[in-house]
Structure 1
């Protein structure tokens, strides 16, 4: 009929590796009945079949068929599906019936594809034939030699079994596969090839989807091996893949810097066949700010907040009550953990999605745009801005909020008129007002140091805890962290006691109370300048941090230093 398209049958290219010549002859006879299979027959057993299998894919074959140990060996060197010819019940029955007429002790030696069926038939028919299963071809020779020493005279099995039987002067009978086994292999070839093609189509589709979603990425398996990688806009030589964790966790390493460029790294966990794989996609960080002025990271898990005290519970409760807000002000003394709370807010709102950026307020005002993956901007040193800069800061913050980006301000003191009613105010208590948190904080900090740096102490004595709880902690949690870090680094035992903690706290108290004899000499202006210079030394000359501590703006600080 005109216009009717004839169906084109896809021929499956099959490489049939026969382990013995007689099978090759039988395959040539059988393949004439398989019109949809383009069968090429080669003879090769075990190691001699490996080169044939290695070339099969590049020679355009779709499937390989072989038998027993040869099929197992081939599977290790090719990506093509391998069909293992079964030894049918007819094949086994023919050989066992024939061998049963032979005098002497008889045995079957072979891989499980032969021995499993043989054992069943010998039991049912009560043939006096013993069955021995091997895992590797190297086991056959020593086993047959041992059987000869035990008085066996007839050995049945695969090609390697027969060769070894001949080698030791024994009667070797080859268990051959008949027509039904070959036709069964052809049928399984059709089924497996159809399934294989479907999976290959799915893989190609997934690759195309990945290509659209991310132009530069790498997939790593649970053993750390690279499964698949693609680099289109980034040179793979710029990325050190050994730095990527093998469990998909980035631990705040969401941005990497190579040369003059910053790249975002987005992790994903893929599960396939019960195994986990980890996809890391890379893209350039698009932002106009000087990269030395901004820190961008991926907050991979909800930060742990110690909240045994009522003050900290109120703080966290306030965050929950304001979670839909876009602008936040974290108000608290230096060292109270405002950065940790900012990351807590970010994760509560966005989970593991989106990036977290840290930048000083004045540098933020110079910025014109932010990367589309940044979901939270944490602004430091607000106190150092003058009134006009603070007003402009709020206008810029409102612009980012309109883009769906949260803006979090960090301030030590809440000055009147700085924040409007649209800002969620979160008050962080000083450590001296939450002393009941010190025990849990100390346990966490000691455990963290042990895991990260391999320090020895794993516990703190009660009397040492009492000292920590009685100290007034002007530097708050940051100071507690520094003291415990120094203590666990110095302690070589497993327990921190007063003999380590006591002298450290006494030294801090003495240092706080001591004022140099000449410090208060001179005019008020002279004393003020000495204070500024002392703070400058503590802050390593960073004028922004100095202005922040002294609660003055940088222009005032600059003027006082100049005078």
Structure 2
């Protein structure tokens, strides 16, 4: 197969010389394009589309092309024969002579002219914009003849100076094609290896990508595209996922924690990564996306949005949060309460209402003690700015030794730190789950009561959730029948606001009239995250399957429950469901 080669010839003579050599270059499919520095760059997009393997050019044009294309660019050198020919021509001039050009063209001339005892002054230029100034200086010096490359000779005529073009001979052009063939063969070898690796990566269910400092994806495998879809390449990965930009910024600060994300309601996943290559033009990063159950880190991170849509504004800005929030403004602070009482909502409320809350709210989930993650967490606290709000869940999952080491980092931190627990810090300390030094670092601990202790709030919350889900599902439900409302008042609400939200969503989806009727009863038993992760006794199904749903919806619920009971381990869940892992992957993605 012929090597598809583009020759960008800065002067007409190079076009003619290349054309005359085509018979000797049978391994090449050659197209010659005449253009200098200013003419070559606008043609690059078309050049890339036409699928060339290599570009051959000369002087400043070659240098410019190399800076703006991913294709290999071979520079036609000026050989010793070329230099001697030009020097023999200009040697007889009685008028004042000067050489002006790019270093890669005239530096050889400087050495050869010295050997031949031809004393020619010179000036080098680094880019096209410097040529005019060099010519003005030469004119003022009384120079009559300029020896230089194409752009210099062309402009010399505008100053009334005779130009002598430094041209390349046959030997130099043939040598450039020989280099092109060598580079092509090496490139093809690497290309085959790269294609093999890309094919292999596409068979994996762990996502991999390489991105630059602007968020432009330079490579991604199929699994990565499954986790993080990109519908607007112009804005890159950062455009659709601003949290990835924030994650990359933290990588630069040495904070390499796994980023917690969700593709949809049933597909939590994490992103990890690092710096792949450093450059003055901007660093390149690798990203790795995988299911939460396969994550390696003991600590995960997330970045909250001020437009958090998990709960309506009426609940996010609850007056109870205002009262509790105003009770203590000193940090670090601890908040505690049952699952779903609104600890995260309390944190969001404080963040939004904080006078210095202009930074991020960073959410940290501590799953276990793990050295690298723990070091990243302490770096996050010790390097974060004063306006940064850090919400930490699960600090009691750290070893007591790590908690002891974390305590001084918490005290030194300028960040606004809010710890979250399901039990009171005093009880955790008494049970030896919370290290005394970390406990002593809290300026104050605030408890949030469960929903069953706030019966007066229940009806207000129900109305708010009705409005939210009416808009989401296009319904016009105005209320609940009295027996349904009575059942809600009697319910223990183990899942608190989460359970109430899910219940009202189910009511709205199942109801077609203006009221929620009693056929939505009885309320299913709430299964907490910890209970869902434990194996079911006797292998029976969970009680919160809704047989009024469609078969597709029930299947999704079954998959979700089995994944939860298998601690989100897809291999174990697939085995339990009697399907292979790829089928489970496909059903999760539906």
Q: Is the contact made by 1:255 and 1:297 (CA closer than 8 Å) also made in structure 2?
A: no
Deviation at 1:229, TM superposition (A): 3.2
Q: Is the contact made by 1:69 and 1:136 (CA closer than 8 Å) also made in structure 2?
A: yes
Partner of 1:82: 73
Q: Secondary structure at the match of 2:100?
A: strand
Q: Which residue among 157, 176, 180 is the counterpart of 1:189?
A: 180
Q: Is the contact made by 1:250 and 1:300 (CA closer than 8 Å) also made in structure 2?
A: no
Q: Does 1:138 align with 2:139?
A: no
Cα distance in 1, alignment partners of residues 89 and 4 from structure 2: 36
Deviation at 1:76, TM superposition (A): 3.3
Partner of 1:282: 289
Q: Does 1:165 align with 2:190?
A: no
Q: Secondary structure at the match of 1:128?
A: coil
Q: How many equivalent residue pairs?
A: 346
Of the structure 1 ranges 257-266 and 75-84, higher mean CA displacement relative to structure 2 is found in 257-266
Q: Is the contact made by 2:57 and 2:75 (CA closer than 8 Å) also made in structure 1?
A: yes
Q: Does 1:48 align with 2:39?
A: yes
Deviation at 1:107, TM superposition (A): 0.9
TM-score, structure 2 length as denominator? 0.51
Q: Is the contact made by 1:268 and 1:278 (CA closer than 8 Å) also made in structure 2?
A: yes
Residues 211 and 168 of structure 1: CA distance in aligned 2, closer, same or farther (over 3 Å): same
Partner of 1:15: 6
Q: Does 1:92 align with 2:95?
A: no
Q: Which residue among 343, 368, 380 is the counterpart of 2:368?
A: 343
Of the structure 1 ranges 130-139 and 215-224, higher mean CA displacement relative to structure 2 is found in 215-224
Partner of 1:218: 209
Cα distance in 1, alignment partners of residues 118 and 299 from structure 2: 66
RMSD: 4.3
Q: Which residue among 62, 70, 73 is the counterpart of 1:71?
A: 62
Residues 96 and 113 of structure 1: CA distance in aligned 2, closer, same or farther (over 3 Å): same
Q: Secondary structure at the match of 2:157?
A: helix
Partner of 2:244: 241
Deviation at 1:235, TM superposition (A): 5.0
Deviation at 1:16, TM superposition (A): 1.0
Q: Which residue among 248, 252, 269 is the counterpart of 1:264?
A: 269
Cα distance in 1, alignment partners of residues 136 and 182 from structure 2: 41
Of the structure 1 ranges 48-57 and 59-68, higher mean CA displacement relative to structure 2 is found in 48-57
Partner of 2:25: 34
Residues 71 and 441 of structure 1: CA distance in aligned 2, closer, same or farther (over 3 Å): closer
Cα distance in 2, alignment partners of residues 201 and 157 from structure 1: 41
Q: Which residue among 169, 192, 215 is the counterpart of 1:201?
A: 192
Deviation at 1:213, TM superposition (A): 2.3
Cα distance in 2, alignment partners of residues 236 and 19 from structure 1: 44
Q: Which residue among 447, 450, 464 is the counterpart of 1:539?
A: 447
Q: Is the contact made by 1:265 and 1:280 (CA closer than 8 Å) also made in structure 2?
A: no
Q: Is the contact made by 2:276 and 2:286 (CA closer than 8 Å) also made in structure 1?
A: no
Cα distance in 2, alignment partners of residues 221 and 54 from structure 1: 20
TM-score, structure 1 length as denominator? 0.53
- Decide which structure has the larger Cα Rg and report it: 1
Task: List gaps (5 residues or longer) in structure 1.
Answer: 1-9, 288-295, 302-333, 354-377, 381-407, 411-425, 432-436, 455-472, 487-507, 509-536, 545-554, 558-563
Task: List gaps (5 residues or longer) in structure 2.
Answer: 231-239, 301-334, 337-363, 375-393, 418-428, 453-491, 495-590
Q: Is the contact made by 1:255 and 1:298 (CA closer than 8 Å) also made in structure 2?
A: no
Residues 475 and 142 of structure 1: CA distance in aligned 2, closer, same or farther (over 3 Å): farther
Residues 196 and 273 of structure 1: CA distance in aligned 2, closer, same or farther (over 3 Å): farther
Deviation at 1:24, TM superposition (A): 0.9
Q: Does 1:180 align with 2:171?
A: yes
Partner of 1:469: none
Cα distance in 2, alignment partners of residues 75 and 159 from structure 1: 18
Cα distance in 2, alignment partners of residues 340 and 51 from structure 1: 50
Q: Is the contact made by 1:254 and 1:297 (CA closer than 8 Å) also made in structure 2?
A: no
